[in-house]
Chain A
Amino acid sequence: MNLFDYLTANWPRILDLTLHHIELSLYAVALALAIGVPLGILCYVVRPIAAIVLNAVSIIYTIPTLALFGLMLPLIGIGVVPAIVAVVLYSLLPIVQNTYTGLMVVAPEIREAAKGLGMSPGGRLWRVELPLALPIVSAGVRVAVVNAVGMMTLASLIGAGGLGDLIFRGISTLSWALVLAGSVPVLALAALADVGLKALERRLAAWQGIA
């Protein structure tokens, strides 16, 4: 079967898998944000733990994707949940690291000025430091999203579905059409996320220029 025949016959299924793929990736990145940003802030506020936390998340980031999914199986089983957990773990590094770095590089003059205005530490963090760190945090989110889209392809191996279903079936049946039908949307998603979030970063940076 050539690619064109496959696409015309199966486009609703490809669309379904693509939407499922997006959904899984977004869930994972949203959870990683909910865990990673507070963790990054914690590293900034409680400086001694920064080295420990950053080392731990970078060790996780080093683990081969297949091995990380492999370790999820006996611990959590198969399906959507272990896939999301694996991708959340993997996404922590760019988010925690960038939140921490973003807060660290806020200019000391600005921090002093905020202190001089009589803002409380919490107020400074929330209203001065975090907004200034936003473009760098957003860069971390971009890396996390692009990674998540790619990693979710492997999630098919532990039964979570997504576009990996097409790719792996294509590999095992040596069907070029299936492989392409899965790979092209994955690449398109990754590229779109990259371009879109880069635009967001520029917006955030420009908005800071005005504010």
Chain B
Amino acid sequence: MTLLDYLHFQGDLVARLAWQHMLLFGLSLAGATIIGVGLGVAVARVRWVASVVVPAVNLLQACPEVVLLAVSIPLLGIGFEGALIPLFVKGVLPILRNTASGLAGVDARTIEAATGIGLTPRQVLLRIELPSALPVIISGIRVSAVMLVSVLTLTAYIGVESLGTLIVQGIARMDPAPLILGSLLTALFAVAVNYILVGAERAAVNRLS
């Protein structure tokens, strides 16, 4: 069956899986950003924590996705829950790390000046520190987004429907049509997400200067 035939007969399936993939991606990235920035701020506030957390994070990030997935299943089961550990490690941790190091890199004199003109610590965080750290944070979000597309593709193995489902079916049935289609679509998706966030990073840098 050629690619076009496959699209003709299975177009609805492909569209549904693509939609599901993007939906899960959007939800995971939103969740990862909220948790990652929150934890990153907490880590940056308590300096000694950063010296423990950042190396630990780097170590965990080096874990292959499959291994994280494999460890997650016995603990959390099959389905989307089973993907939570790899999603956390590959999604939340890059944002956490970059938020913490971005905040640590904000010029101390700027913060002092802001405090000097009477801003409360909360205002300093929201108006001075986070905007200054934004390019670094967005760069973390980009790393996380690319990893999340990849992790979601793999979750097809534990029954989460995503574009990965096409790849898994293609490999299992030695059917090139879904295999190529699934691989190309996930690849395009990842590349597009990356470029969009590279653009956002540049915009954030430009706004600073």
| A interface residues (Cβ-Cβ under 8 A, vs B) | 59, 62-68, 70-71, 73-74, 146, 149-151, 153-154, 157-158, 164, 167-168, 170-171, 174, 176, 179, 182-183, 186-187, 190-191, 194
Q: Is the interface of B mostly helix, strand, loop or mixed?
A: helix
Chain A nearest CB from B201 CB (Å) reads: 14
- On chain B, the number of residues with a Cβ less than 8 Å from chain A's Cβ atoms is 35
Which residues of chain B (42-77) have a CB below 8 Å from chain A? 59, 62-67, 69-71, 73-74
Knowing A74-B176, A170-B70, A183-B71, say if A68 contacts B64 (CB, 8 Å): no
A194 cross-chain contacts in B, Cβ below 8 A: 62
Determine the distance from Cα of A182 to Cα of B66 in the docked complex, in whole angstroms. 10
* 14 A–B pairs (Cβ distance < 8 Å), ordered by A: A59-B191, A63-B187, A64-B149, A65-B154, A66-B150, A66-B156, A66-B164, A67-B182, A68-B187, A150-B65, A150-B67, A151-B64, A168-B157, A179-B70
Indicate if the CB atoms of A167 and B70 lie closer than 8 Å: yes
Chain A nearest CB from B83 CB (Å) reads: 12
Q: Is the interface of A mostly helix, strand, loop or mixed?
A: helix
B146 cross-chain contacts in A, Cβ below 8 A: 62
Closest B residue to A150 by beta carbon equals B64
Indicate if the CB atoms of B70 and A64 lie closer than 8 Å: no
A191 cross-chain contacts in B, Cβ below 8 A: 59, 62
Indicate if the CB atoms of A157 and B171 lie closer than 8 Å: yes
| B interface residues (Cβ-Cβ under 8 A, vs A) | 59, 62-67, 69-71, 73-74, 146, 149-150, 153-154, 156-158, 164, 167, 170-171, 176, 179-180, 182-184, 186-187, 190-191, 194
